[in-house]
Every structure is written in structure tokens, then in C-alpha cells.
Structure 1
Amino acid sequence: MKEGIHPAYREVCFVDLSNGFKFVTRSCAQTRETVTMEDGRELPLYKLETSSESHPFYTGTQKSIDNLGGRVEKFRNKFAKVGIKK
């Protein structure tokens, strides 16, 4: 392999900002911050908006569009005639 052309592949701590969930995995993600883990290791820190711990699909709190009080049907009824040209 050529020297100097590959990104740094190392352990990185990812933290979910919505609930504070942390997990460590190997990544090439570029970071400027570091965090000290419970075991004393200092790792690069990458902040996430959402992860599997807070995403509605994975937590089972996702809502179905069909159950939102008939909004889809109201929209279809309201704009059904707009697409028809005579």
C-alpha cells in the first residue's frame, strides 16, 4: 500500500446527542474532539443526531401515516379535482 494516501482507520466513540448513548467502533470519520472513556482510553468523539437507540423505527415508536386521523384521505379529497383538466 502507498504511504500517506489512506485515511486514519482507528477506534472512534460515537455519542447520540438526544439521549447520551455511546458506542465505540472503528471508523475513518474525521473528528476534532476527544473523550475519555471509563476505562481511561482517550478516543476521538463523533456526535450523532440520532442512532439506533433513539430512532423511532428501532425503538418501536414510529407512527403509521394511515393512523394519523385520516390526513391522507383529507388531502386526496381536497386535491382530487386539481389534477383533472377538461
Structure 2
Amino acid sequence: MQQDKHPDYHPVVFRDRAAGYAFLTRSTATSDQRIEWDDGQTYPVVDVEISSESHPFYTGKARTVDTEGRIARFERRYGGPGQEPEGGGAA
């Protein structure tokens, strides 16, 4: 591997402000802020708005989209199989 071609890959703490959750992982992200972790060492900390702890998809609070209602409205408006569209057909 060539030297000085790759970014510095080091331990970083990512902190989810919305959920109050932080996790230690390895990344190329940098930060001027530092935090003392459970192991007694200090690591750079990167604040994020959304992580798997607060994202609706992972927490199970995702909205379900009413696709059946959309399809029925489309068929009423433009005519489904074997139907005439609203407002009559040809003039």
C-alpha cells in the first residue's frame, strides 16, 4: 500500500443529540471537540442529527403511506380497467 494516499482512520465517538445516544466506532471524520469515553481515553466527538437510535425506520415509528387510497383516487380520476374516467368519456 502506498504511504500518504489514504486518510487517517481512527476511533471517533458519534453522538446523536436527538436520542441522547453516543457510540464509539472508527472513521475518517474529524472534530475539534473531544469527549472522555468509558474506557478513560478521550476521543473526537461528532454530533449528528439522526442515527439508528432516532431514525423513524429503525425505531418502528415510520409512517405508512396510504398507497391503496392513492391508487383508488387515481383510478377514479383517470379510469381504471373497464371504467370511464370522471367527467364522461369522449365528447
TM-score (norm 2): 0.68
Query: How many residues are matched?
Result: 77
TM-score (norm 1): 0.71
Amino acid at match of 1:62: A
Percent identity of the aligned residues?
A: 40
Query: After TM superposition, what 4+ stretches of structure 1 lie above 6 angstroms from structure 2?
Result: none
- Whole-Å separation in 2 of the counterparts to 1:15 and 1:8: 20
**Cα offset for 1:19?**
1.4
Gaps in structure 2 of 5+ consecutive residues: 79-91
Alignment of 1:1-86 (within 5 A): 1-66=1-66
Give per-residue Cα distances to partners, 1:36-84, cap 9 Å, x unaligned. Answer: 11221100101110100110000000111218xx6x58x96xxx7xxxx
Amino acid at match of 2:35: V
Please say which structure displays the higher CA radius of gyration.
2
Gaps in structure 1 of 5+ consecutive residues: 81-86
Q: SS at the partner of 1:65?
A: coil
